[in-house]
């Protein structure tokens, strides 16, 4: 699953997962943000299974839309347009 990472001057990194609406994590540094986001992904998927909800299909268009939004938010906050995408490995098997 793709995560979009956005770093802030205080060292905080926020990661959002476009295929899982509302799923995000943060931490001090990219690795902490990714670890917290992986936990959020696992929780999101467990809740989704409980209510028969599926993740969105991860398409280039979906990623591009979220990248656009993250970059627009950074511009609004007066931050440089620097983001990173990373893959999060999670166990998506059903119980």
What does the pLDDT profile of the chain (95 residues) look like in tens digits? 999 999 999 999 999 999 999 999 999 999 999 999 999 999 999 999 999 988 999 999 999 999 999 999 999 999 999 999 999 987 765 44
pTM, 2 dp? 0.90
16-48 in b/e form (b: 16+ CB < 10 A) is: bbbbbeebbbbbeeeebbbebbbebbeebbeee
Terminal CA-CA length for the chain: 19
């Amino acid at each position: 699953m793709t995560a979009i990472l956005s770093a802030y001057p205080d060292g905080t990194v926020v990661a959002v997962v476009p295929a899982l609406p509302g799923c995000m994590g943060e931490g001090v540094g990219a690795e902490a943000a990714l670890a917290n986001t992986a936990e959020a992904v696992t929780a999101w998927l467990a809740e989704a299974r409980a209510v028969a909800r599926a993740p969105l299909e991860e398409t280039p268009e979906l990623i591009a839309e979220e990248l656009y939004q993250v970059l627009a938010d950074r511009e609004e906050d007066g931050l440089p347009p620097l983001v990173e995408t990373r893959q999060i490995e999670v166990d998506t098997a059903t119980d």
